[in-house]
Amino acid sequence: MFVLSVVVLVAALVVSLIPFATDGSAGPTSAFRAQQELDAVAFELGGSPGARYSGTLTTTGAGGPPRKVEFTDLTVASTKNAEGDITYDTSTAQYRQIGNYRYLKGPAQLWTDLFDGAPILRQLDLKVTENRWTNLRYSGLPDLGYLLSPALLAGRIGNAERIRAPSAGPELPAPNQGLPDARFWPTSDPEITAIDDDTIRVGTLATTFDPQTKQVTHIEGEFASSGTQVDIDADVTLLGADDLTAMFTDERSLLPDLTSVPAPAVPLASDAVTARGVGACTPASCPFLITATGTLDAEVAEDMRGVTGHVNYGLTTTFTVDDAAPGAVGGTCTRVVSAPFGGRTQTTCAATRLPAGTRVVRPNTAIEYLPFIDTTEADLASYLDSQEQSSELPITMERTGAKKGDAARYNDQVVGFPSSYVVRQGDYLFDGVGPEGNLIVSFAPGYAEHVTAGRFDPAWPGTALLTEQLTKQVAAAGDRDVTYVAAEPATAAALRALVVAEGIAPGKVGVFATPLTAD
């Protein structure tokens, strides 16, 4: 998922975009005044390079147990970088996050608690994780950098569209008129309540702020994120760029320790280790070939494509010989091997000292394993540099009209903002900004029906508009890259063809297909 992570300079053109009451009064309704106030607060939060949090955050996914994390003075940048100590269950550990990479250093018991009695615990070699940096991928521990990124959290506290979609009035003339992502002037009151002069509630999420500075001081309540329910109760202190220098310096000092780290929650295929007989069996020796692979579970294989890593195995093989009890005859064979992700390694084990007349020998291999995710210090340093540079980029947020239906939901999914929030860069309104400062445009369901033979139908008026938009986006982006995220694979293919046809420099506009999901 792409997310916002930038310093935001707020130029909130809110007043001119808020519809006034239709009951004959001279001003906006109380709900729209609350929206106006909340926009100022949200944009102040989103405009902060970082924030410091003290409190709790609990996530509850479909069918999974609640995951509650406590933290004090946890520093989080809008780039999703984070630093601080957290407590999960009974264990306290150091938490570090470099953009999409999350790390933990603490007692092995914390990992035991995360697996919550899962059968796989019998095979994982968790003692290796004791007070060692580990990768949190697939762990279920809340992604604190993503959930507490000030820029993303700004979108969540101001997202009244999730509570009730606004009634749509006239379609706005730019930039998406006539397209599935068209925006419309709202004509109904937002579901927002001003509890006091310093607290505004959207749904169950209450935001407390300083009425003078508009800086958030506390957030409490619930919101949904990527199919997960999030419950937050935290004090908030906004931070400037200088306040983040120590965090980036500390993360840079850790890079040598992060090049090969255990990733206990990366799941393996059920048949990652197999054994078969090779050669003839004699009373002296009955050999078996054991194959240990780095094959990942099918559910994560696509997501892990391009990720480098390996699996360390400790293999203990005993044998069942005829009707004897397992392990009673044939001896014991132990091996320590390693297999790269997607690769394999092989070793042999032999049953020995078999009774004369032995008919059947079956191997029984007990597995202890631990996956590792590998990268280079140079790659991590380059990524961290881009994160730090992105944290200093000025971006202007504005309020505009809202998209409808799936278009609004997809906009929220892709950039983490309500569709009525946009990012102005030059003369163009983008849907959002990614971790490296890339400007994001989302393409909701509905474009694919206008694709013929891998290209947008030239007879469709939208084709000319998309072509014009592409030119304007590239010009407005300047040194930044543009990222297209499309809900339909056919749309993504047609967008790639359009980028090539218009002669855009390779890499300037990236195109990705990500389906619309329920939230």
> What's the angle, vertex CA 8, arms to CA 6 and CA 9, rounded to 5?
150
- C-alpha–C-alpha distance, residues 67 and 110, integer Å: 12
Q: How confident is the model at residue 16 (pLDDT cuts 50, 70, 90)?
A: very low
pLDDT in tens, 390-416: 888 877 788 999 999 999 999 999 998
Domains and CATH numbers, the chain: 7-244 (2.50.20), 273-374 (2.60.40), 397-513 (no CATH)
Q: Which of 243, 211, 205, 210 is nearest to 225 (CA)?
A: 205
Q: Supply the pLDDT for residue 519.
A: 55
- C-alpha–C-alpha distance, residues 212 and 216, integer Å: 11
pLDDT in tens, 235-288: 999 999 999 999 999 999 999 999 999 999 999 999 999 999 998 999 999 999
pLDDT in tens, 72-88: 999 999 999 999 999 99
Would you give the DSSP letter of residue 402?
Answer: B
Report, as an integer, the average pLDDT of 174-199: 93
The H or E element spanning position 465 is helix 461-477
- Give residue 40's identity as a one-letter amino acid code: A
Q: Is 173 exposed, middle or buried (0-12, 13-18, 19+ CB in 10 A)?
A: exposed
Q: Supply the pLDDT for residue 2.
A: 38
Percent of the chain with pLDDT over 70: 94
Phi and psi dihedrals of 449, rounded to 5? -70, -10
- C-alpha–C-alpha distance, residues 474 and 482, integer Å: 7
Tokens of 514: 């990500």
- C-alpha–C-alpha distance, residues 464 and 442, integer Å: 18
Specify which of 174-178, 215-219, 386-390 reaches the highest per-range mean pLDDT: 215-219
Q: How confident is the model at residue 434 (pLDDT cuts 50, 70, 90)?
A: confident
Tokens of 154: 């700004």
- Give residue 519's identity as a one-letter amino acid code: D
Cα 386 to Cα 53, 65, 99, 150, 484, distances in angstroms: 24, 35, 10, 18, 20
Q: What is the end-to-end Cα distance of the chain in Å, rounded?
A: 13
Helix pair angle (150-157, 30-46), 10° resolution? 170
Please, are residues 317 and 361 in contact by the beta-carbon 8 Å criterion? no
Would you give the DSSP letter of residue 174?
Answer: S
Please, are residues 438 and 8 in contact by the beta-carbon 8 Å criterion? no
Provide CB contacts within 8 A for 393, sequence distance 6+.
6, 7, 433, 437, 480
Q: How confident is the model at residue 301 (pLDDT cuts 50, 70, 90)?
A: very high
In the sheet where 285-293 sits, what is the strand order?
Answer: 273-277, 285-293, 344-352
Tokens of 129: 């994780």
Across 83-100, b (16+ Cβ under 10 Å) vs e yields: bbebbbeebebebbbbbe
Across 174-191, b (16+ Cβ under 10 Å) vs e yields: ebbeebbbbbbbbeebbb
Please, are residues 444 and 411 in contact by the beta-carbon 8 Å criterion? yes
Provide CB contacts within 8 A for 277, sequence distance 6+.
286, 287, 288, 289, 361
Does residue 1 surpass a pLDDT of 50?
Answer: no
pLDDT in tens, 21-45: 444 455 678 888 899 999 999 999 9
Q: Which of 465, 405, 384, 428 is nearest to 177 (CA)?
A: 465
CA atoms within 13 A on the CB side of 497: 15
Please, are residues 264 and 130 in contact by the beta-carbon 8 Å criterion? no
Q: Supply the pLDDT for residue 5.
A: 36
Q: Indicate the pTM of the whole model.
A: 0.88
Q: Where are the beta strands (DSSP E) in 227-328?
A: 228-239, 260-262, 273-277, 285-293, 309-321
pLDDT in tens, 114-164: 999 899 999 999 999 999 999 999 999 999 999 999 988 998 998 999 889
The H or E element spanning position 386 is helix 377-390
Q: Is 140 exposed, middle or buried (0-12, 13-18, 19+ CB in 10 A)?
A: middle
SS3 content of the chain, % helix, strand, coil (to 5): 25, 35, 40
